[in-house]
Amino acid sequence: MTQPNIIQLSEFNVTQKIIESLSNVCTRAVLFSVKEESKDATQIADELKLSLSTVYKTLSSLEDLALVEVHKFIFSNEGKKIKQYRSRIGKVEITLNNTEPVLHLYPNKRPVETKISK
């Protein structure tokens, strides 16, 4: 049996998925948008002038990679529960060690807030 090449090996590698995700300018913009304060998808879309569907898709991808989290929920005047997202990382470093990338993720320094707003 032949050995898999570097692309096949990295296909399911989480580090590779995070690096690929962060190489996208839209993904980085959404991530930076929620670094300092939590926001809902509508706020992010309005701020970045992106479609709401793009923001939801990006947030879902970032959440799957554990780069953002649902920080809290707020309730609209209609009683609808709205997710507020926040970046889990504050800094990223990517270095190369021979042919393999090395990813360092640093936690987002933020005050602890666990209340639910109404």
Query: What type of residue sits at position 50?
Result: L
Check: CB of residue 68 under 8 Å from CB of residue 85.
yes
SS3 of 1, please? coil
Domain annotation covers residue 47: yes
Report pTM: 0.76
Pairing of strands 100-107, 68-75: unpaired
Domain annotation covers residue 118: no
Report how far residue 62's alpha carbon sits from residue 87's, in angstroms, rounded to the nearest whole number: 9
Average pLDDT over residues 100-113: 76
Asked whether the predicted pLDDT for residue 29 surpasses 50, the reply is yes
Domain annotation covers residue 115: no
pLDDT given for residue 15 in this prediction: 84
Q: Which CATH number fits the domain that encloses residue 85?
A: 1.10.10.10
pLDDT given for residue 30 in this prediction: 96
Percentage of the chain beyond pLDDT 90 is 47
pLDDT band at 88 (very low <50, low <70, confident <90, very high): very high
Number of domains in the chain: 1
The residue written with tokens 């529960």 in the block is: 81
pLDDT in tens, 37-83: 999 999 999 999 999 999 999 999 999 999 999 988 888 788 888 89
Range of the domain at 85: 6-107
pLDDT given for residue 86 in this prediction: 94
